[in-house]
Structure 1
Amino acid sequence: MIPEELLDELDRRLTPVDAARLAAYPGEPSTRQPVHTCYVPADAVVPGLVASWGSAALAALDEHGLPDLGLDPALVEQLLPRVRAKLAGEPVEDLRVDAEDGYRGSPAAEDGDVAAAAAVLAAEPVLPPFVGIRAKSLEEPTRRRGVRSLDLFLTGLAGAGRERAVVTLPKVTAVEQVSAFLAVLDALERTSGLALDLELQVETPQAVLGPDGTATLARMLHAGGGRVTGLHYGTYDYSASLGIAAAHQSSDHPAADAAKEAMQVAVAGTGARAVDGSTNVLPVGTTAQVHAAWQLHAGLVRRALERGFYQGWDLHPAQLVTRYVATYAFFRAALPAAAARLTAYVSRVEGGVLDEPATARALAAVVLRGLDCGALDVAEVERATGLDRRALDGLAGRRPR
């Protein structure tokens, strides 16, 4: 028999290790993750912006019709009414006002444009579930300008009756930038009254690999003191920084996959999410051009979902069509198998697949994501699984925020 004092010593040595691991890796939060982030330049934020994106997406769908997206035609017919309802009711899940690369205004105009964007959003009767701003980076040439724009925007947004907003920090190159930025976020919370989440954009090689050869992403995330909710891949800045020719810069390039896999490993278990980037091939022009852009976009969205990236960027209203078609198809196609395996797991009935708790968590998480975005509804999920939302949350290991 192992002596009791040896077990006590084991507990004494490892209990602090357990506590540190749980603090650093608390698990998946219960909060919804949006399927996308829509970027709009600060000087393009106008009243009715979100509704106009939905209307423009529906108009593009009506004008051009859907091309062959490589999906089961019966599944597409089944989900199109849901997509239309989504575009009419909640076309944008996450809105990011852009005062960085997407904003082309002059430095003299930025104060007015950022403040005006905040005033427009503060007056909107309905806003997306998630709203925030991307300001300029913390590199020396743009540091003070970026913080000033954050202050103007968040102070103006405080009148919208919201409790929380998102700050996206682009072109992060050093762990010290993240830790130094925490004091700025604390001050912005005090002046705006908003709780602020932080997203880090992975757009530079230094964000992935430091000058000493060590992996940087996890250090950046944990330096955020629990504020960091996501690592977002910057498709074009990152590709360009590696010297990849413009014609080959894409979110499915092998270099992109390498960076994004590092992001996934860094966020695993922390409650933060790894987020895919964008495509700059926009669905505009002739029907043939729109169809080609939709086929590209739908393929990239489907590819990202298959690899565990449940959120990406959209830059144009018509991209919402294929964002939701591809996303809804993914979750609706996943439901029958997920429901059967969850039912067998919960009832302990032996079947063709023997699932472990980790797989049950993944199965429940996929169903929950389908519910959150509107691909699935509560009644059909309960019929298929015999489980309600609370039971699924428990199986998925989601923790209260």
Structure 2
Amino acid sequence: MARESQEKAATSLDSAVTREISASLAPIDAELGRRYPGDPGTRQPVHTVYVPADAFAANTIRSWGDQALAALDEHAPDAASFAAVLGLSEELAEPVYARVRARLEHAPIDDLRVDFEDGYGLRTDAEEDAAAVHAARLISTAYKNGTAAPFMGIRMKCLEAGVRDRGIRTLDVFLTGLMESGGLPDGLVLTLPKVTYAEQVSAFVRLLEAIEKAHGLSARRLGFEIQIETSQSILAADGTATVARMIRAAEGRATGLHYGTFDYSAGLGVSAAYQASDHPVADHAKAVMQVAAAGTGVRVSDGSTNVLPVGPTAQVHDAWRLHYGLTRRALARAYYQGWDMHPGHLPTRFAAVCAFYREGFEQAAARLSAYVDRISGDVMDEPATARALSAYLLRGIDCGALDAAEVTELTGLGRVELGGFASPVRTDH
């Protein structure tokens, strides 16, 4: 007989104590499940491209891809020259270049936002109405004919007093146009900019509820991103983290927190020449956003660079190195999404993402496989690390940097099994 069966564990507590403690914590269990559901496990785009509403056309996505390919052909026509610009290893040069070109040829934009805010400016009501109708028609058509980006939507004007009515009307016209064209696409994303107070988020929730009711949509069908562009959205007057209150005020509708590099930097007095996503004020803001969003299912996105890869080859190469470096820096800090402002940014966006996942692929796969097999190595991994490794591999697959078959070959795990490690079922609620 095993030793365990010969020894009896002694206890000193009545079972009623355990029941009483469990009952007292039941509200907390429910609160944890409601407020911290974990990552949704869905694909996150690697970038968001903003296109002014008056420039948005049926061929915008294809045009951006073609312009990015033309930039490669002119300034880095082969894998070796592109790798030399970015400092890629010889081993990574060919696979990264091939995957970048494939993305630009077949899926150049992950997430497109038709911009009715800063990139569009103030227009007559008739002009903005027409642009909103136009955007709805083109987006609806793109999803029907298979030319849409995986995610598409609009950035309306904010809810500050001067533009509030116009922003609400544009959102109404756009969503009504989508409904009249056949309904809301699955990849629809709405962005609310320049949010300063949690009460603005609450007001937007009420607005979305009214729109859902008007169109007979299911409750909570409409979600939205919150754009963090002011110091007050990070730290409130009473010293609390405003952004955490915003997530709560969204009542489960918030899908992302997007950092606005230039508005935020300017608001803190940073000189124009130093406004960048790696400035200390940016790092602080994004760190607060990241902590506030952790476990809530709300994802954090980095901002953009305004240094465009245009002009002579040497100038383009400098801009590419800058953008590549900023993107790699963001990925290392767990900001898996950013903004791209120009077609010339696409080659380095996809190169940075591809290199990030391919560089660490074999080590991550080996560590996860060892964890699954309970094999000791030079790193003692815990369940939390297995979760991070699985999430890393899934992100690599989703963005096209890794192939599902090669991940399965090295880990022995398919997508379902990887998802189980990346988003384990919680047992505390």
Report the TM-score range of the alignment, normalised by the length of the smaller protein: over 0.9
The structural deviation recorded for 1:393 is 0.1
Residue matched to 2:131: 113
The structural deviation recorded for 1:118 is 2.0
The structural deviation recorded for 1:73 is 3.0
Q: Is 1:6 paired with 2:17?
A: yes
Which of residues 158, 168, 182 is equivalent to 2:191? 168
Flag the structure with larger Rg: 2
| CA distance in 2 between partners of 1:134 and 1:384 (Å) | 41
Change (3 A) 1:76 1:398: farther
The structural deviation recorded for 1:49 is 1.1
Write out per-residue CA displacement over residues 41-85 of structure 1, whole angstroms, 9 at most, x where no aligned residue: 000011111111111111111111135213213202222111111
Structure 2 segments unaligned to the other structure (5+ residues): 1-11, 77-81
Residue matched to 1:34: 45
* Pairs within 5 Å for 1:2-401: 2-65=13-76, 66=82, 68-104=85-121, 106-108=123-125, 109-124=127-142, 125=145, 126-158=147-179, 159=181, 162-191=185-214, 195-397=221-423
Structure 1 segments unaligned to the other structure (5+ residues): none
Write out per-residue CA displacement over residues 27-46 of structure 1, whole angstroms, 9 at most, x where no aligned residue: 11121000000000000011
Do 1:43 and 1:114's aligned partners in 2 also have CA atoms closer than 8 Å?
no
Residue matched to 2:8: none
| CA distance in 1 between partners of 2:96 and 2:182 (Å) | 34
Do 1:123 and 1:160's aligned partners in 2 also have CA atoms closer than 8 Å?
no
Do 1:164 and 1:196's aligned partners in 2 also have CA atoms closer than 8 Å?
no
Change (3 A) 1:57 1:169: same
Do 1:164 and 1:197's aligned partners in 2 also have CA atoms closer than 8 Å?
no
Change (3 A) 1:200 1:120: same
Do 2:50 and 2:340's aligned partners in 1 also have CA atoms closer than 8 Å?
yes
Write out per-residue CA displacement over residues 213-237 of structure 1, whole angstroms, 9 at most, x where no aligned residue: 1111111011101100110000000
The residue type paired with residue 112 of structure 1 is: A
The structural deviation recorded for 1:191 is 4.7
Change (3 A) 1:22 1:320: same
| CA distance in 2 between partners of 1:160 and 1:321 (Å) | 34
| CA distance in 1 between partners of 2:222 and 2:152 (Å) | 11
| CA distance in 1 between partners of 2:333 and 2:186 (Å) | 32
Change (3 A) 1:56 1:283: same
Do 1:43 and 1:117's aligned partners in 2 also have CA atoms closer than 8 Å?
no
The structural deviation recorded for 1:190 is 4.3
Residue matched to 2:9: none
Change (3 A) 1:398 1:185: farther
**Matched residue of 2:222: which SS?**
strand
Using CA pairs below 8 Å that are at least 6 residues apart, which structure has the higher relative contact order? 1
The structural deviation recorded for 1:107 is 3.0
Do 2:156 and 2:167's aligned partners in 1 also have CA atoms closer than 8 Å?
yes
Cα RMSD for the two superposed structures: 1.6
The residue type paired with residue 313 of structure 1 is: W
| CA distance in 2 between partners of 1:283 and 1:231 (Å) | 27
Write out per-residue CA displacement over residues 250-284 of structure 1, whole angstroms, 9 at most, x where no aligned residue: 00000000000001001100111011000011111
The residue type paired with residue 328 of structure 1 is: C
Identify which range, 102-111 or 126-135, moves more after superposition. Answer: 102-111
Do 1:94 and 1:131's aligned partners in 2 also have CA atoms closer than 8 Å?
yes
Change (3 A) 1:398 1:293: farther
Identity of aligned residues (%): 56
Figure out how many residues of one structure are paired with residues of the other and give that number.
400
| CA distance in 2 between partners of 1:189 and 1:292 (Å) | 47
The structural deviation recorded for 1:344 is 0.6
Do 2:139 and 2:152's aligned partners in 1 also have CA atoms closer than 8 Å?
no
| CA distance in 1 between partners of 2:149 and 2:214 (Å) | 23
The structural deviation recorded for 1:22 is 1.3
TM-score of the superposed pair, with normalisation by structure 2: 0.90
**Matched residue of 1:68: which SS?**
helix
Do 1:172 and 1:203's aligned partners in 2 also have CA atoms closer than 8 Å?
yes
**Matched residue of 1:96: which SS?**
strand
The structural deviation recorded for 1:5 is 1.9
Identify which range, 158-167 or 226-235, moves more after superposition. Answer: 158-167
